[in-house]
Structure 1
Amino acid sequence: MAARRTGPVLVEDERAVGYGELWFDAEEDEVELARIIMAPDARGKGLGRALVRGLLAQAAAAGHHDIFLRVHPDNATALRCYRAAGFAPVDPALAATWNKTQPVDYAWLRHDPEASGA
């Protein structure tokens, strides 16, 4: 069963500009990065990537290295951010299985420490 854990708030100039969560799944021994939100005026500055890297560091510190996230397939900005942070698409068959219970066919990504930018 997955347990949700509140993640950090990213602050710039004393203003919250980003937020994210880590959802730990002890049964599967994996973590999902979730609810990653950036203020519109904070986008395009590398802050989202910094937030994602901070979440990755927290997951690794907790002993988890199998890390996933899902994103709406039309969110090109987020997809670029996640790829720059070292995420790559999961196998299409696995994504199709996971999407069976989802409201949309999400793009599912897995962190790849060997990916460029990781």
Structure 2
Amino acid sequence: MELLPAGPGHPAVVAGWPASAAEVALWCGRDEFPVSARTVAAWQQEDGVRAFVLVEGERTVAYGELWLDDEEDEAELARLVVAPEARGRGVGRALVRALLAGAVDAGFDDVFLRVRPENAPALRCYHAAGFRPVAPGLAREWNAAQPVDHVWLRAGE
């Protein structure tokens, strides 16, 4: 598998992966279902966002973003999703590790991600990739600004 920058054809592919409104909420926290290719493409234009796809042969099997914050000197892995037919094969873990390596290569030692507490498959994936919960007080502080509570994880904790 190879991590590549997302290209112009990827938003339409990625937008088609979630099968329900509940899956969209777990993936990206949106009420929109289905998520439009235009929405995914717009995310990629946001300041500090670098979008990537994981490819296996000719197939795109996963998507994720690095949110790079030079001011805070930290990075966040975000909007991670695996193609339905590729789930359960370690693709998510490979995506997380590749994005983490990209963040470290870009000079960020502090790398976080957030996940909804009910997303058990994602939590297992992130733990297997070496992410651990942040201190409870820090999680409460960060959740105060969120519309829903998340489990906040840090690489290498």
What TM-score do you get using the length of structure 2 for normalisation? 0.68
Residue from 56, 68, 71 that aligns with 1:27: 71
Tell which structure's C-alpha radius of gyration is larger: 2
- Residues 80-115 of structure 1, C-alpha deviations (whole Å, 9 max, x = no match): 000000000001110111011111100000000xx6
Structure 1: gaps (5+ residues): none
Shift of 1:73: 0.6
Structure 1 moving runs of 4+ over 2 Å: 2-7
Instruction: Name the % identity.
Output: 62
Residues in 2 aligned to 1:59 and 1:69: alpha-carbon distance in whole angstroms: 12
* 1:47 lines up with 2:103 in the alignment: no
* 1:110 lines up with 2:139 in the alignment: no
* Conserved 8 A contact 1:5-1:22: yes
Residues in 2 aligned to 1:12 and 1:46: alpha-carbon distance in whole angstroms: 12
* Conserved 8 A contact 1:7-1:55: no
Greater helix share, 1 or 2?
A: 2
Give the secondary-structure state (helix, strand or coil) at the position aligned to 1:20: strand
The answer for the alignment partner of 1:6 in structure 2 is: 50
Q: Which has the higher contact order (CA 8 A, sep 6+)?
A: 1
Give the secondary-structure state (helix, strand or coil) at the position aligned to 1:65: coil
* 1:84 lines up with 2:125 in the alignment: no
Residue from 130, 143, 147 that aligns with 1:99: 143
1:41 partner amino acid: E
2:91 partner amino acid: L
Shift of 1:13: 4.0
Residue from 111, 117, 120 that aligns with 1:67: 111
Shift of 1:14: 1.6
Give the RMSD, CA atoms, in angstroms. 1.5
What TM-score do you get using the length of structure 1 for normalisation? 0.89
- Number of aligned pairs? 112
* Conserved 8 A contact 1:71-1:79: yes
Shift of 1:12: 2.4
Shift of 1:41: 1.7
Give the secondary-structure state (helix, strand or coil) at the position aligned to 1:97: helix
Greater strand share, 1 or 2?
A: 1
